[in-house]
Amino acid sequence: MDTGFSLFDNEIGTRFAKRFASAAAVVHQSSLPHTTQELVSLRASQINGCGHCVDMHTKEAAAAGESAVRLHLVAAWRESTVFTDAERAALALTEEGTRLADGAPGVSEATWAAVREHYDDDQTAALVCLVGLINAANRMAVITHRKGGSYEAGMFAAALG
């Protein structure tokens, strides 16, 4: 039995999704590198156990030219050599900003220092907004039982069209 719920088949859900997508577009159109955006979205989705979002961001990143090696190593980025210092700072911020419910103290001073070393004000704002947005998207997808596996690159953009 499928116990899922489609927000897109509901007037309120559809209206909310359009506004949510508009907020996401602000981040997407920012100067924060698109590769970093996908890595951040993928890592938060992994932490939150959101199969739908892991599926989406893995496929979008691959379609944009991201290597399979880097995508496979996102979950173990600290023990990998394939990420830049800037990407490591963004991934650290993502983890610390996502694990708040785990009793974590939030974003450390060291992580903030690394983020500020590599990203300007606009990129930092986009990064913070992205972490908030992907965590919200993960929660909505998990709550409504959206499963991973059927997403094809470009589907999200096409749905907004």
pLDDT tens across the length of the chain (161 residues): 466 788 878 899 889 988 999 999 999 999 999 999 999 999 999 999 999 999 999 999 999 999 999 999 999 999 999 999 999 999 999 999 999 888 778 899 999 999 999 999 999 999 999 999 999 999 999 999 889 988 898 887 776 66
Among residues 150, 133, 149, 145, the alpha carbon closest in space to that of 17 is found at: 133
Distance CA 8, CA 122 (A): 31
Tokens of 98: 């996502």
Q: Which amino acid is at 122?
A: D
3-class state of residue 145 by DSSP: coil
Q: Which residues of 47-77 are buried (b: 16+ CB within 10 A; e: fewer)?
A: bbebbbbbbbbbbbbeeeebeeebbebbeeb
